Amino acid sequence: MGQSILVVGGGMSGVSAALEAAEAGYDVVLVEKNPYLGGRVAQLHQYFPKLCPPYCGLEINFKRIKSNPRIKLYTMSEVTGIEGEPGNYKVTINQMPRYVNERCTVCGKCGEAVEATIPNAFDYGLGEIKAAYLPHELAYPYRYVIDPSIVETEDGAKAKEACPYDAVVLDDAPKETIEEAGAIVWAAGWSPYDASKVEYYNFNSSPDIITNVQMERLAAAGGPTGGKIVKLSNGEAPKKVAFIQCAGSRDVNHLPFCSTICCLASLKQATYVREQLKDAEVTIYFIDIRAMDRNEDFYTKVKADEKISFVKSKIGLIEPGENGMLVLEGENTTTGERFKAEHDLVVLATGMQPNTDLSKIPADMVYDEYGFVQNAEGIFGAGTVRRPGEVHVSVQDGTSAALKAIQVVAGR
């Protein structure tokens, strides 16, 4: 078999594209920026509407990758250059050092030995982890990472000394590799819109104002609170939880489009709260609830819970109130009343900003006004770089991109 297919991004779309192409008999190079695969799906507590854990599906995919010799995996790597044309690309891959080699058994001794901590990126900055760490419990590849900040410090030496398997490599360095490929699938995913940009929500003013992605980590067993939904200001259980929809979405000053998933994410997270905290009240503030096709049933189900109420209002202001409460101001557009409502935990449902909006593909590509990429002759977008959407759409899109890539390389 001739040319390989290069897939950028090891999240749901990229993993799907890589597996579909490899299992159809093509060689695949999979390039992932993080030290682990699974992308944002790996950080979710549960899927909507079935409320099942994403790890079932992810583990099956990882097993398929592990047992498929056609897939060559680069983690902690980014594509910095693409040259050539369809059927003949030369792709520059920049790999950052992990400082830990394949001898690592995840015994954890290096983590115990070092003292320095870094913000936990996997938990979206909620809490800290040791600077020698496993990104998360079910990480694939299952291997530790050492943060570059400690490599030249005493902590770096301690980590190396603590390792019984000689797996710590302190002189590891960035590597530049050039891979040849006939077609490229760009599945670089999305980033949560920066909530602090919506200045009237005063996101940084209170630890009890969090984003929807942070809420996933709060609810997840592997998260910073061991899965307990608490107010981060004092560790107590919240009594009145607010979800603010379209926080920076459908807004010409922020993300002008609808990300399609935030309504469902908040409905789902409302069930997390209600399952754990029997007395907690939940209010969802919305412009419109957008629950399409089968998800409408989920909306109906959540709406039936009398402790979950829906208020048609885009919140216009969040300010600290008395006794650690947060005061939300809005105009109820059903009744016409302007109101102030107190809550002790506020979740901002921020949208999906395509990563192609934040960092462009190093090739001549066409983007729409929001930064979503359009397919070129030999380079295909997959998943949320093409349009915002839920996980199963990303899987389908990965498969579709794999087929387009195969059509370029087949027979060459």
Residues in contact with another protein by the rule CB under 8 A: 200, 246, 250-254, 287, 313-317, 329-333, 336, 338
Of residues 289 and 405, the one with the C-beta less far from another protein: 289
Give the residue with the Cβ less far from another protein, 234 or 335: 335
Report the candidate in 345, 374, 363, 386 with the shortest Cα–Cα distance to residue 235: 345
Nearer to another protein, 170 or 287 (CB): 287
Supply the minimum distance, in Å, between the C-beta of residue 289 and another protein: 13
Cβ proximity to another protein, 80 vs 334, nearer residue: 334
CB 256, min distance to another protein, A = 8
Q: Smallest distance from the beta carbon of 139 to another protein, in angstroms?
A: 39
CB of 366 to another protein, least distance (A): 25
Report the residue number, 206 or 313, with the smaller CB distance to another protein: 313
Cβ atoms within 10 Å, residue 308: 20
Listing DSSP states for 214-243 in one string gives HHHHHHSTTSTTTT----TTTSPPPSEEEE
Comparison of 117 and 332: residue with beta carbon closer to another protein: 332
Give the integer Cα–Cα distance in Å for 147 and 164.
19
Residue type, 110: C
Count CB neighbours of 10 within 10 A: 29
Q: CA 267 to CA 215: how far, in whole Å?
A: 12
Nearer to another protein, 295 or 313 (CB): 313
Shortest Å, Cβ 175 to another protein: 45
Q: How far is the CB of 350 from another protein (least distance, A)?
A: 14
* Among 118, 17, 101, 11, CA closest to 380: 17
Q: C-alpha angle with apex 75: 72 to 76, nearest 5 degrees?
A: 150
Please say whether the beta carbons of 93 and 126 come within 8 A: no
- Give min distance, CB of 390 to another protein, in A: 23
| Residue 336 identity (one-letter amino acid) | G
CA 364 from centre of chain = 26
